[in-house]
């Protein structure tokens, strides 16, 4: 690689998206939603709702982040560590089934399953006489975080706006009619919960719910402000002779934290509604959008206009499946994922679950919990790069809380110091192995989550943050200094018992574990050096790293998934976990480990291009890291194909509302897909910032602004006919910057807060 060092002066030139590129960032439909996966999501971090936008009846299904089954509980299995040596020996002797049976009986969480996230309730609004309508439209405006519905009945135009306000902690609905006294409707609250009650008073209705098999209860209160008349009839609020009405909905539960459920849900909900009940909707909307746009507007992306931009979104998906030449749909999908991040993960809230903050089932798939063997982490892959760093905070809150429960599990299950987290957790922060011993005993959840702390530091260069969170990383590593044992066959340290998610059963020495553990050790060492602390412990980790079982290449030329060479080249399982060191890790790369990097690529080729939604998303990231943009784009095509096709079984892809399909709905694919496209456009995991490293032929032009890179930099750049034409770098930390493009690089010093513009220099090297 050629390197040229430039001493550039900070320039005040700004590279922003042209007005043409800033196309309407909207999801558009010409019919109401018929099912939940057609409804449109709104959220404020605490409350989430799905808007069906019906005409004769509006249905808004809503959630609160803290309504779950269960109660504060220690999931650790007392005495489990007494069986650890026997389980390990059974695995060493090749008696996998016996090891799994013993682990299932003596080593698993108590109880075996964790608890489920619950839906809260439903708001219904009936508009009698609206069965015959025309000029229907429903839109989710991503720039405004606003869901709108409009239609005409006779000569009257009806408009509906729905938003979820973070500043006012409410879901707000505004209804208008173009003629005086033409707005007439009735509304009421309901819920799926067996134990529920609804009461009405003047312009207010209150829903109280109690979850089954748990200690949590919730109270939701709505109030109506209108220029019409209000009365209560049969448990419903009837509004008549109006032209405008605003409905505000607030909700709360008795959950305070994973150990404390002494909150007063009614008092909390009343306090919230009382603050806003007399607030003008326009003021509430303005505060909501100012808060939201302060995050959303930092990042813009465009891949150029085309003839499909005017199509309804569901039709665009169908057309994209037939011919994937709608690059602007990809840009819309990426901005939708950022919208979902802001809606489901705000500072002070819990992180997004498998379904984000949206769920309509009392028994949701996979409990709608936090699956930490890929899905929870994938939710946060793109937050730093797409300039939403604050939205990462809820994940750090989860890490802190799981570290507390994980210390108990480390001691009770492994007799180890530090903390451990297995493949799932819930609102009660269970850290013990759950579900089944053949895949539940996976020990690197804490280690993987700890890498997110380091990633936040790499992007922001915030040493105060690193110092505060360093003990969490350190104690995750401390666990493995006790847990790893010498393999009698190879003499290397191995992780046992564990598994390669979610394939192969309980084993000793899975490759994925060793990748994550080495990565954890290395970032703790780097953090120690950065903070000038903990030198002795860092030295211990340095000495242990070369003792961990190294990578192995199997008889098929593949990177071995297990200690033994038993990979099946015809296995097309959705998990490709043993390639973790390619992405999101970086130990396997073409510069430092080319032989194993090529073997990892062979493994990915064997595993194939099919998969569920999140699996396709992970593979996009893999192929981008393998610098094969066209192969990555093939999987983007698959990911953005309709999940539901008449006459065919459900498949991974995308629902009409752009939700990711496992199937059923899982939100991680939305975030992982966005991360994958970012990796095609920019990579910064190897020290330099590589621009357009895996640009596919299908994206010959584009522009992006507000893209964050590791090292404390923010990029804006353009390309035309596949060639980079302009790039601007904002230095947020004053570090030395190295830009790489087409095997050439430029290195220059920067000052914090200054911008540096390069016009074609990269192409002239």
List pLDDT tens digits, range 357-378: 999 999 999 999 999 999 999 9
Contact of 211 with 69, CB cutoff 8 Å: yes
Confidence band (pLDDT; 50, 70, 90) for 305? confident
Counting beta carbons within 10 angstroms of the beta carbon of residue 295, is it exposed (0 to 12), middle (13 to 18) or buried (19 or more)? buried
According to DSSP, residue 388 is labeled -
Inside any domain, residue 310: no
Share above pLDDT 90 across residues of the chain, in percent, rounded to a whole number: 92
Final residue in a domain of this structure, among 239, 262, 297: 297
Inside any domain, residue 758: no
List pLDDT tens digits, range 193-240: 999 999 999 999 999 999 999 999 999 999 999 999 999 999 999 999
For residue 9, pLDDT over 60 is answered with: no
Counting beta carbons within 10 angstroms of the beta carbon of residue 465, is it exposed (0 to 12), middle (13 to 18) or buried (19 or more)? middle
Confidence band (pLDDT; 50, 70, 90) for 247? very high
Which residue in 461, 465, 466 sits closest to 713, CA to CA? Answer: 461
For residue 550, pLDDT over 50 is answered with: yes
C-alpha 493/C-alpha 450 separation (Å) is 21
For residue 747, pLDDT over 90 is answered with: yes
Final residue in a domain of this structure, among 679, 697, 728: 679
CA-CA-CA-CA torsion sign (656, 657, 663, 664): negative
Higher pLDDT, residue 86 or 234: 86
Same domain, 497 and 646: yes
- What's the pLDDT at 309? 85
701 C-beta neighbours (distance < 10 Å), count: 16
- What's the pLDDT at 295? 98
Tell me the three state secondary structure of residue 460. helix
Same domain, 176 and 110: no
What CATH number does residue 473 fall under? Answer: 1.50.10.10
For residue 23, pLDDT over 90 is answered with: no
C-alpha 216/C-alpha 69 separation (Å) is 7
Mean pLDDT of all residues in 681-706: 97
Contact of 324 with 633, CB cutoff 8 Å: yes
- What's the pLDDT at 64? 98
Share above pLDDT 70 across residues of the chain, in percent, rounded to a whole number: 96
Question: Dihedral (C-alpha) 585, 590, 593, 595: value to the nearest 10 degrees?
Answer: 120
Contact of 133 with 149, CB cutoff 8 Å: no
Same domain, 93 and 157: no
Tell me the three state secondary structure of residue 452. helix
Inside any domain, residue 56: yes
Tell me the three state secondary structure of residue 683. strand
C-alpha 709/C-alpha 723 separation (Å) is 20
Inside any domain, residue 474: yes
Same domain, 193 and 338: no
Question: Dihedral (C-alpha) 589, 595, 600, 605: value to the nearest 10 degrees?
Answer: 120
What length is written for the chain? 765
Beta bridge partners of 272: none
Same domain, 423 and 506: yes
25 C-beta neighbours (distance < 10 Å), count: 22
For residue 469, pLDDT over 90 is answered with: yes
584: preceding bond cis by omega (within 30 degrees): yes
Final residue in a domain of this structure, among 679, 694, 728: 679
Cα end-to-end distance, the chain, whole Å: 11
Mean pLDDT of all residues in 124-138: 97
Tell me the three state secondary structure of residue 106. helix
Region of residue 299 (left: phi > 0; alpha: psi -120 to 50; beta: else): beta
- How would you label 306-341 residue by residue, b for 16+ Cβ within 10 Å and e otherwise? eebbebbbbebbebbbeebebbbbbbbbbbbbbbbb
Same domain, 102 and 41: no
> Helices 535-544 and 463-483: crossing angle, nearest 10°?
50
Contact of 97 with 437, CB cutoff 8 Å: no
Helices (H), 532-572: 535-544
Average pLDDT of the chain is 95
C-alpha 443/C-alpha 432 separation (Å) is 9
Confidence band (pLDDT; 50, 70, 90) for 17? very low
Contact of 120 with 62, CB cutoff 8 Å: yes
C-alpha 535/C-alpha 543 separation (Å) is 12
Same domain, 45 and 109: no
Confidence band (pLDDT; 50, 70, 90) for 2? very low
Beta bridge partners of 705: 300
What CATH number does residue 286 fall under? Answer: 2.70.98.50
C-alpha 733/C-alpha 275 separation (Å) is 40
Tell me the three state secondary structure of residue 308. coil
List pLDDT tens digits, range 716-746: 999 999 999 999 999 999 999 999 999 889 9
List pLDDT tens digits, range 620-653: 999 999 999 999 999 999 999 999 888 888 888 9
According to DSSP, residue 43 is labeled E
Same domain, 276 and 334: no
Inside any domain, residue 159: yes
Inside any domain, residue 711: no
Contact of 219 with 196, CB cutoff 8 Å: no
Mean pLDDT of all residues in 531-553: 98
C-alpha 486/C-alpha 547 separation (Å) is 9
- What's the pLDDT at 762? 52
Mean pLDDT of all residues in 534-543: 98
Same domain, 105 and 122: no
Residues with Cβ within 8 Å of 282's Cβ and at least 6 positions away in sequence, in order, are none
Same domain, 104 and 191: no
- What's the pLDDT at 11? 34
C-alpha 536/C-alpha 157 separation (Å) is 72
According to DSSP, residue 686 is labeled T
Confidence band (pLDDT; 50, 70, 90) for 10? very low
Contact of 426 with 376, CB cutoff 8 Å: no
Same domain, 356 and 481: yes
For residue 22, pLDDT over 70 is answered with: no
Q: Which domain range does residue 63 map to?
A: 26-68+118-297
**How does strand 744-748 pair with strand 2-5?**
parallel
List pLDDT tens digits, range 314-358: 999 999 999 988 999 999 999 999 999 999 999 999 999 999 999
Which residue in 349, 371, 404, 298 sits closest to 666, CA to CA? Answer: 371
Span of 41-50, 154-163, 641-650 with lowest mean pLDDT: 641-650
Rg (CA), the chain: 27
Same domain, 332 and 287: no
- How would you label 483-512 residue by residue, b for 16+ Cβ within 10 Å and e otherwise? bbbebeeeebbbbbbbbbbbbbbbbbbbbb
Mean pLDDT of all residues in 557-585: 95
* Domain count across the chain: 2
Contact of 520 with 447, CB cutoff 8 Å: yes
Contact of 485 with 544, CB cutoff 8 Å: no
Contact of 506 with 99, CB cutoff 8 Å: yes
Cα-based angle 439, 588, 692 (whole degrees, multiple of 5): 115
List pLDDT tens digits, range 274-298: 999 999 999 999 999 999 999 999 9
Contact of 355 with 667, CB cutoff 8 Å: yes
According to DSSP, residue 11 is labeled B
Q: How many H helices and E strands in the chain?
A: 18, 34
180 C-beta neighbours (distance < 10 Å), count: 12
C-alpha 220/C-alpha 129 separation (Å) is 29
Which residue in 715, 731, 631 sits closest to 680, CA to CA? Answer: 631
Confidence band (pLDDT; 50, 70, 90) for 14? very low
Q: What is the 3-state secondary structure (H, E, C) of 484-539?
A: CEECCCCCCEECCCEEECCEEEEECCCHHHHHHHHHHHHHHHHHHHHHCCCHHHHH
Inside any domain, residue 718: no
DSSP letters, 691-712, are ESTT--TT--SEEEEEEEETTT
Inside any domain, residue 7: no
Q: State how far the alpha carbon of 143 is from the alpha carbons of 46, 287, 324, 327, 430, in Å.
A: 20, 14, 25, 19, 37
For residue 433, pLDDT over 70 is answered with: yes
């Amino acid at each position: 690689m050629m390197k040229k060092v430039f001493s550039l002066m900070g320039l005040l030139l700004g590279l922003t998206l042209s007005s043409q590129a800033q196309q309407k960032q909207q999801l558009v439909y010409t019919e109401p939603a018929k099912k939940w996966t057609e409804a449109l999501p709104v959220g404020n971090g605490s409350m989430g709702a799905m808007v069906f936008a019906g005409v004769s009846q509006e249905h808004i299904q809503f959630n609160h982040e803290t309504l779950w089954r269960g109660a504060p509980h220690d999931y650790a299995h007392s005495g489990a560590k007494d069986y650890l040596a026997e389980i390990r020996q059974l695995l060493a002797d090749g008696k996998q089934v016996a090891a799994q049976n013993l682990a299932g009986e003596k080593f698993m969480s108590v109880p075996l399953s964790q608890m489920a996230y619950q839906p809260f309730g439903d708001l219904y609004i009936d508009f009698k006489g609206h069965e015959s309508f025309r000029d229907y439209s429903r839109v989710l405006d991503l720039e405004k975080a606003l869901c709108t519905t409009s239609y005409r009945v006779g000569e009257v135009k009806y408009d509906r706006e729905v938003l979820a306000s973070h500043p006012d902690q409410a879901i707000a609905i505004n209804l208008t009619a173009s003629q005086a006294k033409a707005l007439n409707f009735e509304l009421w609250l309901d819920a799926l919960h067996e134990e529920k009650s609804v009461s009405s008073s003047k312009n207010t209705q209150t829903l109280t719910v109690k979850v089954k098999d748990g200690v949590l209860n919730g109270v939701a209160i709505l109030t109506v402000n209108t220029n019409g008349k209000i009365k209560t009839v049969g448990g419903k609020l009837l509004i008549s002779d109006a032209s405008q009405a605003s409905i505000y909905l607030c909700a709360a539960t008795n959950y305070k934290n994973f150990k404390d459920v002494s909150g007063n849900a009614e008092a909390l909900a009343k306090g919230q509604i009382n603050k806003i009940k007399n607030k003008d909707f326009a003021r509430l909307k303005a505060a909501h959008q100012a808060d939201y746009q302060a995050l959303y507007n930092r990042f813009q992306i465009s891949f150029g206009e085309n003839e499909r931009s005017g199509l309804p979104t569901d039709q665009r998906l169908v057309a994209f499946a037939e011919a994937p030449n709608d690059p602007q749909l990809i840009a819309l999908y990426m901005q939708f994922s950022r919208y979902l991040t802001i809606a489901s993960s705000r500072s002070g809230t819990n992180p997004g679950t498998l379904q984000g903050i949206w769920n309509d089932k009392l028994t949701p798939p996979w409990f709608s919990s936090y699956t930490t063997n890929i899905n929870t982490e994938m939710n946060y892959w793109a937050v730093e790069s797409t300039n939403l760093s604050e939205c990462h905070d809820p994940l750090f809150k989860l890490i802190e809380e799981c570290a507390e429960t994980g210390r108990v599990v480390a001691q009770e299950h492994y007799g180890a110091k530090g903390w451990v987290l297995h493949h799932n957790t819930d609102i009660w922060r269970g850290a013990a192995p759950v579900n089944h011993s053949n895949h539940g005993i996976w020990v690197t959840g804490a280690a993987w989550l700890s890498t997110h702390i380091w990633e936040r530091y790499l992007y922001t260069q915030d040493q105060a943050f690193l110092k505060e969170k360093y003990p969490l990383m350190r104690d995750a590593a401390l666990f493995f200094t006790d847990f790893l044992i010498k393999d009698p066959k190879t003499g290397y340290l191995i992780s046992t018992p564990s598994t390669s998610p979610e394939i192969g059963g309980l084993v000793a020495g899975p490759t994925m574990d060793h990748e994550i553990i080495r990565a954890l050790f290395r970032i703790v060492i780097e953090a120690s050096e950065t903070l000038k602390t903990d030198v002795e412990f860092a030295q211990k980790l340095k000495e242990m790293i070369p003792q961990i079982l190294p990578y192995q290449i199997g008889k098929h030329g593949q990177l071995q998934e297990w200690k033994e060479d038993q990979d099946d080249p015809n296995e097309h399982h959705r998990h490709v976990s043993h390639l973790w060191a390619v992405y999101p890790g970086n130990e396997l790369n073409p510069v430092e480990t080319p032989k194993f990097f090529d073997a990892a690529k062979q493994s990915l080729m064997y595993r194939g291009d099919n998969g569920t939604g999140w699996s396709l998303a992970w593979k996009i990231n893999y192929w981008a890291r393998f610098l094969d943009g066209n192969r990555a784009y093939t999987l983007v095509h698959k990911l953005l194909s309709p999940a539901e096709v008449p006459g065919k079984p459900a498949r991974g892809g995308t629902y009409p509302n752009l939700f990711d399909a496992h199937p059923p709905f899982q939100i991680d694919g939305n975030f992982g897909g966005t991360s994958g496209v970012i990796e095609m456009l920019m990579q910064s995991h190897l020290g330099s910032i590589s621009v357009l490293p895996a640009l596919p032929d299908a994206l010959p032009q584009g522009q992006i602004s507000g893209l964050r890179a590791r090292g404390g930099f923010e990029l804006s750049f353009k390309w035309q006919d596949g060639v980079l034409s302009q790039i601007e770098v904002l230095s947020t930390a004053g570090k030395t910057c190295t830009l790489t493009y087409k095997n050439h690089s430029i290195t220059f010093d920067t000052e914090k807060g200054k911008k540096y513009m390069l016009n074609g220099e990269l192409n002239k090297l």
